[in-house]
Amino acid sequence: MPPALSRHDPGRHDPGRHAPTRPAPGDGAPVIVWFRRDLRLADNPALAAAAGRPVLPLFVLDEEAPGRWRPGGASRWWLHHSLAALAASLARLGLPLLLRRGPAARVVPALAAETGAAAVHWNRRYEPWAVARDAALKAELAASGVGARSFNGSLLAEPWQLSTGAGRPYRVFTPFWRALLAAPPPAPPLPVPAGLTAPAQVPRGDRLEDWGLLPSGPDWAGGLRDTWTPGEAGAAGRLARFLEGPAAAYGAARDLPGTEGTSRLSPHLHFGEISPRQVWAQAQAAMGCHDREGMVAGIESFLREIGWREFCYNLLYHFPTLPEVPLNPEFEAFPWSDDRTALSAWTRGRTGYPIVDAGMRQLWATGWMHNRVRMIAASFLVKHLLLPWREGAAWFWDTLVDADLANNSAGWQWVAGCGADAAPYFRVFNPVLQGRKFDPAGAYVRRWVPELARLPDAWVHEPWRAPADVLARAGVRPGRDYPEPVVALEAGRERALAAYATLGQAS
């Protein structure tokens, strides 16, 4: 029987403790490199460690996540293209990418037996079901004499490497970030391994086209195709363009949704087409060789956001119920509304609040939403509409190309005020003031809510208050061309605060 494994040691189980139950594999026995959220060749520790033996790259269509957290439509679109790109890169090295479908807990050991594999390598994942599955799998493989090795390919520091002075996981970002900065710097990224060889025999696998990851009837992915280039080369291009251009102004521009002020690396990082170590190393190099004004400050500010990603993974690992349960248990009793009409107005970008609607439409069209607008739109859902944060997280999960269990869950809990390091609940974003501050000329709203494009700046964030002649000149008929507000601003805010006040009474 495999030994009990600690959750806090998911990938570091020592396979040497198990006596092999089959003869030692010969030199021709392949190493299966199981690609997961590391769809790249460079800085891929699992792949690099396989060099010297025949390598069998494998991807298993992940069907083990609990139903609610199976990849959404936008993620599946991305996955299809990212796998196609990975297969093409591997083919250039003479390696096939084997595709198999089914529970990895069954598929991986079966393939190891079928191929007589010497070992299986993978880079770690941190979703609770993946942690549990991988720990069990590692024990099972080791018990049957297959070396199972896992690596850190997705984070600057493993979640168990940083803890508070009291030995507990961090729940507040700033001390976490300080501890990360004080830790030894990340190791330099690994190059694409040289001299990889394929096994003499490659088993049959699935065809990517047969997995049905792309939408059909209707094909809603046109905006995604126009916006993104999934794959390792697309990721490298994004980072290079960002460091050449917007990085120097990132500190101020990162909050302006009407500009291309951020890196848009999030889906590439989520799928592991680029590693945080590569981002870190290239950002450090850019700080050293560009003396443009603001470069150092801009890049430091950008790396802090990479630090937020690390923090979210740290939270998910140590608090595995993060996607479902408020970290602040008081919020379990929150009197959420069940207004399906309001939810539908929000998802369709028809709340009557231009900055919220612009964000929701950008999300639908491109699979991505600017961070500032994610905060505004999420706050509007949980506060002005009083709808549960889990509903918002589920919609984002289906529609974001960067849908990420750690970042999405932590982001929603933060906005809802129930998370670690949360914004206080009573901080209710005012979508009009936020719009005026961060989209002062209305460029973002005009881009995504074209029916308001001809309104003067003064009214573009609150069209319901515009004088009739202004509306007429701009061609806007309230309630017909653009919806009236789904809830009045002040009434929504009061209702949210009253709901929050009931928590204190309940305890």
What is d(CA 116, CA 73) in angstroms, rounded to the nearest whole number? Answer: 36
Q: Which residues pair with 119 in a beta bridge?
A: 31, 147
Cα-only R_g, the chain: 24
Q: What is the identity of the amino acid at 56?
A: L
Of the candidate residues 305, 330, 339, 457, the single one contacting ligand FAD (CB under 6 A): 305
CB of 402 to ligand FAD, least distance (A): 4
Q: Is 151 helix (H, G, I), strand (E, B) or coil?
A: strand
Q: CA–CA distance from 69 to each of 106, 129, 324, 347 (Å)?
A: 20, 10, 11, 18
Interface with ligand FAD in residues 390-429 (CB under 6 A): 396, 400, 402-404, 407-408, 411-412, 415
CB of 248 to ligand FAD, least distance (A): 13
Between 136 and 253, name the residue whose CB sits nearer to ligand FAD. 253
What is d(CA 249, CA 119) in angstroms, rounded to the nearest whole number? Answer: 47
Between 115 and 266, name the residue whose CB sits nearer to ligand FAD. 266
Between 95 and 416, name the residue whose CB sits nearer to ligand FAD. 416
Does 155 sit near ligand FAD (CB under 6 A)?
no
Under a CB-based contact definition with an 8 Å cutoff, are residues 34 and 47 in contact?
Answer: no
What is d(CA 287, CA 247) in angstroms, rounded to the nearest whole number? Answer: 10
DSSP string, 327-371: SSGGGGG------HHHHHHHHTT-SS-HHHHHHHHHHHHHS---H
CB of 305 to ligand FAD, least distance (A): 4
Residue 203: how many CB atoms within 10 A of its CB?
Answer: 13
Binding mask 317-356 for ligand FAD (x = CB under 6 A): ----------------------------------------
What residues are annotated to the active site? Answer: 305, 308, 336, 371, 389, 412
Does 277 sit near ligand FAD (CB under 6 A)?
no
Which pairs count as long-range contacts for 307-310, CB under 8 Å and 24+ apart, including other chains? 307/173, 307/176, 307/177, 307/180, 307/181, 308/173, 308/407, 309/269, 309/276, 309/406, 309/407, 310/155, 310/156, 310/157, 310/176, 310/180, 310/276
CB of 337 to ligand FAD, least distance (A): 18
Between 232 and 404, name the residue whose CB sits nearer to ligand FAD. 404
Binding mask 356-395 for ligand FAD (x = CB under 6 A): ---------------x--xx--x-----------------
71 Rama sector, left if φ>0, alpha if ψ -120 to 50, beta otherwise? beta
Does 262 sit near ligand FAD (CB under 6 A)?
yes
CB of 361 to ligand FAD, least distance (A): 16
Between 444 and 459, name the residue whose CB sits nearer to ligand FAD. 444
CB of 306 to ligand FAD, least distance (A): 5
Of the candidate residues 37, 80, 121, 270, the single one contacting ligand FAD (CB under 6 A): 270
Provide the binding-site residues for ligand FAD, judged by CB under 6 A. 254, 262-266, 269-270, 305-306, 308-309, 312, 371, 374-375, 378, 396, 400, 402-404, 407-408, 411-412, 415
